[in-house]
Amino acid sequence: MSTVQVDTPGGAYPIHIDSDRLGRLAQSIPDDATTIALVSNATVAGHYRARAEAALAASGKRLVYIELPDGEAHKDWQTLNLIFDGLLQNRLDRKAVLIALGGGVIGDMVGFAAASYMRGIRFVQVPTTLLAQVDSSVGGKTAINHPLGKNMIGAFYQPVAVEIDIDVLSTLPAREISAGLAEVIKYGLIIDAEFFTWCEQNVGALRALDRAAITYAIQRSCELKAYVVSQDERESGLRAILNFGHTFGHAIESGLGYGAWLHGEAVGCGMVQAAELSALTHGLPADSVERVRALVRAIGCPVQAPDLGTARWLELMQVDKKTEGGQLRFVLLPEIGQACFEPVPAEALQRVLEQAAVPAQA
């Protein structure tokens, strides 16, 4: 088993990475827990509910189950209230523990519910998608979407543990693997050029879920995110670099309708756009831009942005957590492995957005 430690002012906790972590979930339940609330959706529950409940029963704690609808389109107030309904109906107290069994949507909503219920109870992340394992389950960002903007309502709230079972990846569609790999290569682009090169060299093994390759990719991604989050828990500085490609990506998700593209697909395409913008503003070499485009394509994510119209792009980007005083700021790459966070000239952004109206070459 690999263990990555996360240390933040909001809490310190382990990330356990191994086979059959689902079978050992009871190990992450605090001794003083009164009740365990397992929260999932029907898709994930069909695969893993029985196994998770059997493992949690070993804790000897009372166990309740709350099921949510599946998909990004349901990451909203209405669905969040289903969690609160279940907690209140079952009379959970402050020593209860929530278990988020699912992808990023489940993890974000359960984390936000944990941060809010009785002003804060404990929770454990059990991510079942690659994207959630390498990104959203780590670092304590919790949120729901609003029709006007993605993840605009939420809280920073750390779990007490993250349990990553690499076996669950075998049940994912190829498209979900591709979406997760977008977040994996992001870490190489913003902070570890050698890891980006490793991803280029091992892209076939990663897409095939070769055990050694995917385990290393998850571990290294978690190590890099843990380092960044430990330096800047609440995104007042360094942590902003984790949003590379996300300003474009969130606009794609909002503009097309939540769920039309997977989050990782939108981020992958957004990273290509951010690399193009970096070339215009920070001199990122053309061959580096092509490396970004080629690897995003190789993992199976789109590299051609949808034509939302420049005015609509700008409108969507203004509703972004990285906007300050009405001024858009972007994570940019002077070179692969090095990132900065700055405003950009309007004409440079305009040139990149205009490319979204140009059909991709065959």
Catalytic positions are 119, 141, 183, 225, 235, 239, 243, 246, 250, 263
Distance set, CA 38 to CA 25, 80, 356 (Å): 11, 14, 42
Q: DSSP letters along 234-267, please?
A: TSSSGGGGGGTTHHHHHHHHHHH-TTSS-HHHHH
3-class DSSP assignment, residue 178: helix
Residue 108 token pair: 């974000």
Would strands 62-68 and 35-41 be described as parallel, antiparallel, or unpaired?
parallel
Supply angle C-alpha 214, 1, 33, rounded to 5.
Answer: 115
CB 24 within 8 A of CB 31: no
Strands (E), the chain: 2-8, 11-18, 35-41, 62-68, 97-102, 122-127, 141-146, 149-156, 161-165, 329-335, 338-343
Give the whole-angstrom CA distance, residue 121 versus residue 288.
45
Query: At a CB cut-off of 8 Å and minimum separation 6, what does 95 contact?
Result: 32, 33, 34, 35, 121
Burial (0-12, 13-18, 19+ Cβ within 10 Å), 291? middle
